[in-house]
């Protein structure tokens, strides 16, 4: 039995998906212990209502700022840790999480394990991670009574069932002299015309498309489905699509309702970014392609024959 403190994430007024996954991971890790959920900054009351989920015992709201701030998060999490004395602290393995998690671990003098894809607590914390570009799974036995962990997005199912946690405002004395930065605005960078992580349906294209001019065919399929076009890394490396369209370990992690992989073999680096999709459809000429190992539906055939047929049917 262990008490767990999980830290929710939000951006631009919306909770991130990893917040709901942290509830699942935290409840599993806590077992018969208590799961505390921290919400720092933003519309804490609205976020607390949305995160009143099964498995959460207490939500602690910290009304400091509107957006993520490294210095505020480090101080707030450290103060909560001192107040609650949890065994473990869980954070997202995200841009924000990796920004402040090391500083939290350092300030609390506890070990940090990043990018967890599995957690066990049987007399001690055991963390499952992937190594060598996701080709190998390793287990890390934490030789300490307390630890901080960041969890990979889309590895745990998000908790959806409602609960009735206590909601408490947490006040602490913020040291303003240690807050050395403020978020003043957001600016989208190159090619940010669409966020593939928000798409319900993704049509993703791989090296099987052969030539850049053939992208139009797959784009037509996406248009027929009302879907968003994404890709594997080779397409981005060739300069055929911008970086923000890349799915995979070095791209974005996506969890759409439908993911249609066109001419994608299913390398582990790509699979790491899309295996959380609810339904996976694969189109490939090679019946032994690894993508079929995780696909719910598979079509063995030449994409240049299959895709036009699909477009005709959907139109």
Average pLDDT of the chain is 94
**Interatomic CA distance for residues 145 and 150, integer angstroms:** 17
**Interatomic CA distance for residues 92 and 101, integer angstroms:** 9
Q: What is the pLDDT of residue 280?
A: 97
Asked whether the predicted pLDDT for residue 46 surpasses 90, the reply is yes
pLDDT confidence band for 183 (50 / 70 / 90):
confident
Q: What is the pLDDT of residue 189?
A: 61
Residue 247: name the closest of 217, 211, 291, 288 by CA. 291
Average pLDDT over residues 72-99: 97
Q: What is the pLDDT of residues 219-255, one digit of tens each?
A: 999 999 999 999 999 999 999 999 999 999 889 999 9
Rg (CA), the chain: 21
- For residue 134, the 8-state DSSP code is T
From start to end of 142-195, where are the E strands? 147-151, 166-169
Pairing, β 125-131 against β 118-121: antiparallel
Share of the chain above pLDDT 70, in %: 97
CA atoms within 13 A on the CB side of 269: 11
- For residue 162, the 8-state DSSP code is B
Q: What is the pLDDT of residue 192?
A: 58
Q: What is the pLDDT of residue 187?
A: 75
- Provide the H-helix boundaries in the chain: 17-30, 44-50, 70-84, 95-108, 215-225, 233-237, 268-274, 291-294, 303-314
258: its two tokens: 């439908």
- At 136, is the secondary structure helix, strand, or coil? strand
Containing H/E element for 261? strand 258-262
pLDDT confidence band for 79 (50 / 70 / 90):
very high
Asked whether the predicted pLDDT for residue 98 surpasses 80, the reply is yes
Global pTM reads: 0.83
pLDDT confidence band for 185 (50 / 70 / 90):
confident
Q: What is the pLDDT of residues 30-42, one digit of tens each?
A: 999 999 999 999 9
**Interatomic CA distance for residues 254 and 151, integer angstroms:** 15
What domains are defined for the chain?
4-178 (3.40.50.620), 196-313 (3.40.50.1220)
- At 53, is the secondary structure helix, strand, or coil? strand
Q: What is the pLDDT of residues 110-160, one digit of tens each?
A: 999 999 999 999 889 999 999 877 778 999 999 999 999 999 998 999 999
Phi, psi of 32 (to 5 degrees): -85, 0
**Interatomic CA distance for residues 67 and 9, integer angstroms:** 10
């Amino acid at each position: 039995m262990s008490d767990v403190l999980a830290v929710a994430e939000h951006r631009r007024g919306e909770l991130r998906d990893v917040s709901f996954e942290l509830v699942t991971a935290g409840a599993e890790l806590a077992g018969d212990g208590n799961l505390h959920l921290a919400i720092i900054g933003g519309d804490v009351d609205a976020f607390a209502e949305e995160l009143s989920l099964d498995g959460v015992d207490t939500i602690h709201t910290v009304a400091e700022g509107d957006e993520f701030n490294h210095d505020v998060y480090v101080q707030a999490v450290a103060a909560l840790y001192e107040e609650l004395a949890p065994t473990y602290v869980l954070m997202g393995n995200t841009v924000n999480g990796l920004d402040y998690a090391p500083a939290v671990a350092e300030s609390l003098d506890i070990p940090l394990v990043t990018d967890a894809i599995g957690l066990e607590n049987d007399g001690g914390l055991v963390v499952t991670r992937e190594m060598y570009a996701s080709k190998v799974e390793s287990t890390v036995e934490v030789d300490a009574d307390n630890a901080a962990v960041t969890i990979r997005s889309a590895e745990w199912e998000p908790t959806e069932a409602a609960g009735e946690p206590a909601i408490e405002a947490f006040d602490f004395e913020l040291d303003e002299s240690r807050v050395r930065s403020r978020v003043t605005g957001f600016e989208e960078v190159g090619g940010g015309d669409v966020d593939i992580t928000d798409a319900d349906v993704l049509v993703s294209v791989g090296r099987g498309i052969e030539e850049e001019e053939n992208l139009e065919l797959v784009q037509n399929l996406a248009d027929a489905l009302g879907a968003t076009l994404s890709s594997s890394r080779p397409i981005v490396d060739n300069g055929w699509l911008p970086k923000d369209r890349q799915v995979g370990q070095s791209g974005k992690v996506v969890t759409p309702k439908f993911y249609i992989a066109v001419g994608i073999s299913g390398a582990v680096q790509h699979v790491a970014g899309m295996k959380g999709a609810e339904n996976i459809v694969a189109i490939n000429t090679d019946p032994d392609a690894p993508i079929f190992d995780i696909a719910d539906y598979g079509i063995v055939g030449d994409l240049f024959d299959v895709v036009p047929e699909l477009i005709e049917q959907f139109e």
